[in-house]
Structure 1
Amino acid sequence: MNLQVYVSEILDDIRSNGISALKKYSQQFDNYKGPFELEEKEWNIDDEILQEDKNIIDRIIKRLENYHSKQIKEDITYTNEYGSMYGLIKRPINRIGIYVPGGRPLPSSLLMVAIPAKIAGVKDMIITSSPKNGKINPYILYIAKKLNIKEVYKIGGIQAIGAMAYGIGMKKVDKIFGPGNQYVNEAKRQVFGDVGIDSLAGPSEICLIADETANKEYVLNDLLSQLEHGLESKSFLLTTSKQLYDYCDKNRIERYLFDTLDECAEKANEIAPEHLEIITREPEKIVPLIQNAGAVYLGEYTPVPAADYFLGVNHVLPTGKAARFSSVLNVSDFMKEMTIAKISKEELLTERYLGIRMAEIEGMNQHKKSMEVRK
């Protein structure tokens, strides 16, 4: 059975049979039989985390809040020569679901989603995550408490996506965020329309442009860092240095040797990587040449892992060449934009001939009458 059919059958079962199907798949995939929503006593995890770790998380939260708070944009309204008002107004999404993988818990991913959501004004956030030995990772719960997320559910995998999308065992969400494996990705793809989704994340990628000035140890370790995510992760070196090219001759690192940095940039745009590091004599001069990348990190002291964890920039990025048309997760992903207009009588009567003729072209007679009937 192929992946699409497999996931579809599970989602259909959950939608049709509700909580009984959810319990069945939780027992099958998570080896869990208990209640889904976290009980009050399970929030008592303070003794499970070192105070030093709490301080680190608190500091990272402040850095993320500082960066993302700069992304808030005001509503736009203006008045034209007729005295009519036009604009674009923004509202936060009402309720979001955050999927946090439970196999290898990723508290940093929860931070990257929940903080811009909070800054956008989302009031209602929930977390779903696979329980391990019946429990949710304490770091995930500590972050949830810090960010005032009150609903956490011990559900993972396809069944978690179905539960959030269809409102099984919980109130339905409006949009789902968070990374997952191929089953979670496919489930998100299939529930799109019932709910919104952030993206379909693929294997992690790093592309690194470097010249002869780059520290070879820095370059090699940065290239290897993203391969740690899994066997499907990708690592590209684009360089003008034969010495560096030879030094990075390691398994799974794809190397390209070019005559100029302009050629390196051209190849980077073709790859459209999730992460792009530029370690050259003057990295800022390469930036105008870059069109396709999820994130760009400049200089030898801006490694991808620093951005993954503590710089404050978001690490939820487009993968699989999606940087050609997609963007880094940001505050606007948690908001909706609505046009607003209040047209004066003078403008409608003066300019309606434009709409009347377009209605005639399209054969929409009632559209035409709606504009013509006004006096």
Structure 2
Amino acid sequence: MIEIIEYDTKRINKRVQEVISRGNLYFPDIDIEVRAIVDAVRDMGDEVLVKLTEEFDGVSISPSSFRIPPSTIEAAYEKVDAEFLLALQESIQNITKYHENELMRPFRLEEGDGVSLEERVSPIEKVGLYVPGGKAIYPSSIVMNAVPAKVAGVSRIVVMTPPKNSADNPHVLVTFGELGLKEVYTLGGAQAIAALAFGTETVPKVDKIIGPGNIYVALAKRYVYGVVDIDMIAGPSEVVVLADDSADPMFIAADLLAQSEHDQMATAICITTSLRLGKEVEAEIARQIKMLRRQRIVAESLKNHGAIIVVKTLEEGIELVNLIAPEHLELMTQNPRRCLRKVKNAGAIFLGAYSPVPVGDYLAGPSHVLPTGGTARYSSPLSVYDFVKRSSIIEYSKGKIQKKGTLIRRLASVEGLEGHARAIEVREKGGSSPDLPVDANGGLNEKSA
């Protein structure tokens, strides 16, 4: 079910290489289909949304009924239990508290001689949030996407979710209610992403699109990037557990199984210094998988994308971790903080035996929207920083221009940008003053200048 591999730094095993090179979204046939859908929505708007919703979702809908009425969200509260609502509210509270610490502060530098330099921070105005309706429902993902945006000050969050969610998933609807998400449209797939990117007669154009989805949604987000910003191209979920011989094989097995139940493409890896532990984890997986309802998905995931990799030392294990750059990393060692100091590439890092990934998935505080497919080498978890813009503000005085103008003109001349240098020179000479005549078109009189 899951392969045990003895790692050799000189000759990387094929399975290890597959893990390292995962995350390639190369599906040319689907990409062509997605581009056609996006282009059609861009060109024909609501008309195409109606047609595609009936074709892909089997739902006949008109533009006037795209948006979910508030009464539908209110009615959903009658269909969820009090314990779920309490857990959801505490989750929102914890995530809000954590992300409030990320709020950026503007600054201003007074340089003297009438020079002021500033940075202003302002929120993105309109964000589109995609909420999928596929193999499982994830109210937690709605919270993890929406809360950082709300903390950042985003004034308008436009939600897209397939018709199935509005009809069958009261937990999703209640999550919208608890987050104050009132602008929710029953549209899914690549066509929903296109509507957010370009706008239609009914759906507003947004500035940024966030949220997970299937391959059609991911490729649509990649296609519209540049027209709008996006959060990331999310791949299948993944976990790496780094363990020494002090770790509990029952815990490790449970965590690998938990990650594998997402879907057949999920990656679950244990890197350990102990072959004994590796074999115990293998046995525990065989025992615990029988307790799960999604056994078939888990088994396929572990067979194709799982591994127990035995390394010689923790240092070698950490090198492999940094090479994989996992979405989730659990450090189950005697001294996890010592290992932490050497970890360079990971989306979220969980320290010790009692910090499994589900703690971060649901309740701890940091957003669980994390870089996948090795992109933790250069990218970060979703945060308040993703929903703000920074503007630089520069104020110079006449006196400072006259003092520093020669330097600016010299740099401009090296680049061959005569107009740049001239923009400084006219100010050094006082502009349209009596001693600097201008011609009829407002330009410098060359003979006088």
Q: For this structure pair, what is the TM-score category when the shorter chain's length is used for normalisation?
A: over 0.9
Aligned to 1:20: 47
Q: Distance in 1 between matches of 2:422 and 2:100?
A: 47
1:118 and 2:145 equivalent? Answer: no
Alignment CA distance shift 1:230-1:304 (3 Å): same
Higher mean C-alpha deviation, range 298-307 or range 137-146: 137-146
Alignment of structure 1 residues 90-105 onto 2, 5 Å: 90-103=121-134, 104-105=136-137
2:76 paired residue among 39, 42, 45: 45
Q: CA deviation at 1:237?
A: 1.3
Quote the residue 2:265 is aligned against. Answer: 232
> Which residue of 2 is the match for residue 212 of structure 1?
245
Partner of 1:301: 354
Deviations 1:229-280 (A, max 9, x none): 1111111111111211222336433122122211111110000000111011
Alignment of 1:1-375 (within 5 A): 2-34=29-61, 35-43=65-73, 44-103=75-134, 104-132=136-164, 135=167, 137-168=169-200, 169-249=202-282, 251-252=302-303, 253-375=306-428
Max radius of gyration: which structure? 2
Q: Secondary structure at the match of 1:67?
A: helix
Query: In the TM superposition, what is the alpha-carbon distance from 1:81 to its structure 2 partner?
Result: 4.4
* Equivalent residues of 2:212, 2:234 under 8 A apart: yes
The Cα RMSD (Å) is 1.5
Q: Which string of whole-angstrom CA distances, capped at 9 and with x for unpartnered residues, describes residues 91-114 of structure 1? A: 000011100001222111110011
CA drift of 1:359 comes to 1.5
The answer as to whether partners of 2:239 and 2:330 remain within 8 angstroms in 1 is yes
Aligned residues of 1:130 and 1:136 also touching (Cα < 8 A) = no
Normalising by structure 1, we get a TM-score of: 0.96
What whole-Å deviation, never above 9, does each CA across 1:24-47 have from its counterpart, x for those lacking one? 100111111122111243222221
Report the residue type matching 1:131 in the other structure. Answer: P
CA 1:309 to 1:268, structure 2 compared with 1: closer, same or farther past 3 Å?
Answer: same
Please report how far the alpha carbon of residue 134 of structure 1 lies from its aligned counterpart in structure 2 after TM superposition: 6.1
Deviation at 1:212, TM superposition (A): 0.9
Q: Structure 1: how far apart are the matches of 2:79 and 2:93?
A: 22
Could you tell me which amino acid in structure 2 is paired with residue 186 of structure 1? L
Conserved? CA contact 1:220–1:248, under 8 Å: yes
> 1:25-70: CA deviations, max 9, x gaps?
0011111112211124322222111122111111111111111111
Which residue number corresponds to residue 7 of structure 2?
Answer: none
Q: Which amino acid aligns with 1:70?
A: N
SS at the partner of 1:301?
A: coil
- What is the letter of the counterpart of residue 30 of structure 2? L
Per-residue deviation at 1:133? 7.9
Unmatched 5+ residue regions in structure 2? 1-27, 286-301, 429-449
Give the fraction of aligned pairs with identical amino acids, expressed as a percent. Answer: 38
Q: CA offset at residue 316 of structure 1?
A: 0.3
Q: Which runs of 5+ in 1 are unaligned?
A: none
Whole-Å separation in 1 of the counterparts to 2:177 and 2:145? 15
